[in-house]
Structure 1
Amino acid sequence: MFMGEYQHTIDAKGRLIIPARFREELGERFVATRGLDNCLFVFPMAEWQSLEARLRELPFTRADARAFVRFFFSGAAELEVDAQGRVLIPENLRSYARLERDVVIIGVSSRVEIWSRSEWEAYQAKADQSYEELAEKIIDF
């Protein structure tokens, strides 16, 4: 399970250090793709394969299913960790998530998300206002 929040920077070549705790669970090779809310989703290979199998079940006759699958898979890239614990984030993914220098890497249960620090702070500010309301709607304590 992935959890926690880490602040990092992307170097001039587009390389990002993945936190050691996340590297252990992600493995040496994993998949990153366009996520929702302008962040990147990062999946360990086993989770990616499970997700791919579920998405394959979507009816290709539905335009919304085709559109989502196209968007999700066309942005996907297999990443490999180098000896320094870094991965090269492809330009198309850096552009999509507005990743320039300062980034936030968060654990979200079965996946990791990579956010531009400014996008993450804006998202948090908005989400903080409705956190308790959301909890009431989706969680039955």
Structure 2
Amino acid sequence: MFMGEYRHNIDIKGRLIVPAKFREALGDKFVITRGLDKCLFAYPGEEWSKLEEKIQTLPLTKKDARSFTRFFFSGASECELDKQGRINIPSNLMGYAGLEKETVIIGVSNRIEIWSENSWDDFFTESEESFSDIAENMIGFDI
């Protein structure tokens, strides 16, 4: 399980340090792709395979299903950690998430998310103000 929040900078060569607590669970190779809310999602191989199977069951006859599948898989890229625990994020994904230098890497159960620091801070502030309302709406999910 991934949890926690870490702040790291992308270096001049476009490399980002993955927090040590996440490295073992991600494995040597993992998949990074466009996420929701203008962040990136990174999945260990096993979790990616589960997600891939679920997405493959979406009906091709539904426009939203086709759009989501294209969006999600066209941005996917396999990543490997180097000896220093860094990854190179493809430029198209950096552009999508607005990553420049300061980033926030968060653990979200079965995946990690990579945010630009500004986007994360804005999202957090906005969500923090309505957290009680969000939590109330989650009651129907047995949380």
Structure 1 unmatched ranges of 5 or more: none
Structure 1 runs of 4+ aligned residues shifted over 3 Å read none
Match of 2:63? Answer: 63
- 1:101 and 2:98 equivalent? no
SS in 2 for 1:128: helix
Deviations 1:32-61 (A, max 9, x none): 000000000000000000000000000001
Distance in 1 separating the partners of 2:13 and 2:38: 21
Distance in 1 separating the partners of 2:54 and 2:125: 33
Distance in 1 separating the partners of 2:44 and 2:136: 31
What percentage of aligned pairs have identical amino acids? Answer: 57
Structure 2 unmatched ranges of 5 or more: none
Aligned residues: 141
Shift of 1:12: 1.3
Distance in 2 separating the partners of 1:65 and 1:45: 23
- 1:26 and 2:21 equivalent? no
Match of 1:115? Answer: 115
Return the TM-score normalized by structure 1: 0.98
Shift of 1:24: 1.0
SS in 2 for 1:30: strand
RMSD of the TM alignment (CA)?
A: 0.8
- 1:92 and 2:92 equivalent? yes
Shift of 1:13: 1.3
Match of 1:49? Answer: 49
Match of 1:126? Answer: 126
Read off the aligned partner of 1:76 and give its amino acid letter. Answer: A
Deviations 1:13-38 (A, max 9, x none): 11100001100100110000000000
Read off the aligned partner of 1:82 and give its amino acid letter. Answer: D
SS in 2 for 1:72: helix
Distance in 2 separating the partners of 1:125 and 1:60: 38
